[in-house]
């Protein structure tokens, strides 16, 4: 397909899916406390040649004092600007992973294509607002990049800038870069990254413009209600330092794990008895609860329309919001 035809296809898909950002969006999964008063439509904004056109201003922390930061166990030292440098972000623990290919470590600055390691971290575990790609089958990663590129994989939230940036990135990767990134991330085992706690009250939290939920200062709590709230174990370590060894905690309503276990029995036919994947079907055990919730909702809304997604849609179509919470909590709680 020519570039012009592909862009017209993406425009058509953008119009067809404009209805997807609705009041039914599970806010907890997409990193909102409430929907923005004037949400953007990044499906239209991100059709250009530069993936950075999709970037949301003010999404990363800054430090005007340019203080040098350190992490226990690491010999490295970085400023906040270096930690968040788009085309060569900090790598605190280079011994934790294989040598990164150029596209993962540096991206392509001339195209405004940020390094994969900035969002997914050098070890591929990612943050709650994106996806953990470590340990996924290489062929599955390649297929998802192809679906992003063609418009068959999108986000039901048209305001989710990084999802549409991912599509723009996929369109600007060469075949060799795509294969290198897939081979790299698939070679890294996915180890425990999130713990799930059933509770009725949770820490008061805030939300960044990029969809990262953060514990507020102090010890105040609030009712959880029917939400599944995923927060960094340590706000400073995750938000400021991007510590790739500091994970997340997901707070789920009491009873979620038992209900989720029952609801997820059908998942085992495709994702394996232990939810660790079968062949090119991806592992889901121990993955981000927010990510799982988003994908289930995206499947329901038809925002993901690749071959695997079409198999998923009938299985998730009738799930309620409470079902999404229970399944996401249970799946996240399992040993990866």
Q: What is the mean pLDDT of each run of 10 residues along the chain (336 residues)?
A: 45 43 83 92 84 86 96 97 97 98 97 97 97 97 97 96 95 97 98 98 96 97 98 97 98 98 94 96 98 97 92 93 98 98
pLDDT of amino acid 23: 58
User: CATH number for the 3-63+94-186 domain, one of 3.30.2130.10, 1.10.760.10, 2.102.10.10, 3.30.300.30?
Assistant: 1.10.760.10
Question: Regarding beta strands 248-252 and 194-198, do their DSSP bridges make them parallel or antiparallel, or are they unpaired?
Answer: parallel
- C-alpha to C-alpha distance for 184 and 186, rounded to whole angstroms: 6
DSSP labels for 160-229? -HHHHHHHHHHHT--HHHHHHHHHHHHTS-----EEEEE-SEEE-EEE-TTS-EEEPSSS-EEE--S--E
User: Six-digit token pair at 99?
Assistant: 């040598």
pLDDT of amino acid 210: 92
**Helix locations, 245-320, DSSP H:** 256-263, 268-271, 289-301, 307-316
pLDDT of amino acid 13: 46
β partners of residue 231: 249
Give the three-state DSSP class for 29. helix
Under a CB-based contact definition with an 8 Å cutoff, are residues 145 and 179 in contact? no
DSSP state of 159: T
Helices 321-333 and 256-263 cross at an angle (nearest 10°) of 90
Output the CA–CA distances (angstroms, integers) from residue 262 to 228, 258, 267, 309, in the order listed.
18, 7, 10, 22
194-333 in CATH: which number?
A: 1.10.760.10
Residue that has been written with the tokens 């927060």 in this structure: 231
Give the three-state DSSP class for 267. helix
Phi, psi of 10 (to 5 degrees): -65, -35
pLDDT of amino acid 45: 84
Instruction: State CA 64 to chain mean position distance.
Output: 28
- C-alpha to C-alpha distance for 233 and 248, rounded to whole angstroms: 5
Phi, psi of 53 (to 5 degrees): -60, -20
| Rg of the Cα atoms in the chain | 19
Under a CB-based contact definition with an 8 Å cutoff, are residues 23 and 41 in contact? no
- C-alpha to C-alpha distance for 313 and 299, rounded to whole angstroms: 5
Instruction: In the chain, list all ranges with CATH 1.10.760.10.
Output: 3-63+94-186, 194-333
């Amino acid at each position: 397909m020519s570039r012009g035809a592909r862009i017209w296809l993406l425009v058509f898909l953008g119009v067809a899916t404009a209805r997807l950002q609705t009041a039914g969006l599970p806010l907890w999964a997409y990193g909102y406390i409430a929907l923005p008063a004037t949400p953007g439509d990044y499906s239209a904004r991100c059709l250009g040649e530069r993936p950075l056109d999709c970037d949301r201003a003010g999404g990363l922390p800054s430090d005007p004092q340019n203080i040098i930061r350190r992490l226990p166990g690491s010999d490295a030292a970085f400023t906040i600007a270096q930690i968040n440098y788009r085309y060569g972000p900090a790598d605190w623990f280079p011994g934790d992973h294989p040598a990164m290919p150029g596209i993962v470590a540096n991206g392509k600055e001339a195209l405004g294509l940020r390094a994969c390691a900035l969002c997914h971290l050098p070890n591929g575990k990612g943050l709650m607002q994106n996806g953990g790609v470590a340990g996924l089958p290489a062929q599955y990663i390649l297929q998802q990049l192809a679906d992003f590129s063609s418009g068959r994989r999108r986000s039901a939230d048209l305001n989710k800038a990084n999802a549409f940036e991912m599509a723009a990135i996929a369109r600007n990767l060469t075949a060799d870069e795509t294969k290198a990134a897939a081979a790299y991330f698939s070679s890294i085992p996915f180890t425990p990254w999130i713990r799930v706690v059933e509770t009725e009250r949770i820490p008061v939290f805030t939300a960044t413009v990029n969809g990262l939920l953060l514990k507020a200062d102090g010890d105040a709590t609030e009712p959880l209600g029917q939400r599944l709230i995923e927060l960094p174990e340590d706000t400073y370590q995750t938000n400021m330092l991007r510590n790739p060894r500091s994970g997340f905690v997901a707070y789920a309503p009491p009873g979620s794990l038992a209900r989720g276990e029952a609801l997820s029995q059908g998942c085992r036919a495709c994702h394996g008895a232990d939810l660790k994947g079968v062949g090119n079907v991806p592992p889901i055990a121990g993955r981000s609860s927010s990510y799982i919730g988003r994908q289930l909702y995206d499947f329901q809304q038809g925002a993901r329309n690749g071959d695997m997604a079409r198999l998923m849609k009938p299985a998730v179509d009738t799930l309620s919001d409470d079902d999404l919470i229970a399944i996401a909590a249970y799946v996240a709680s399992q040993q990866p």
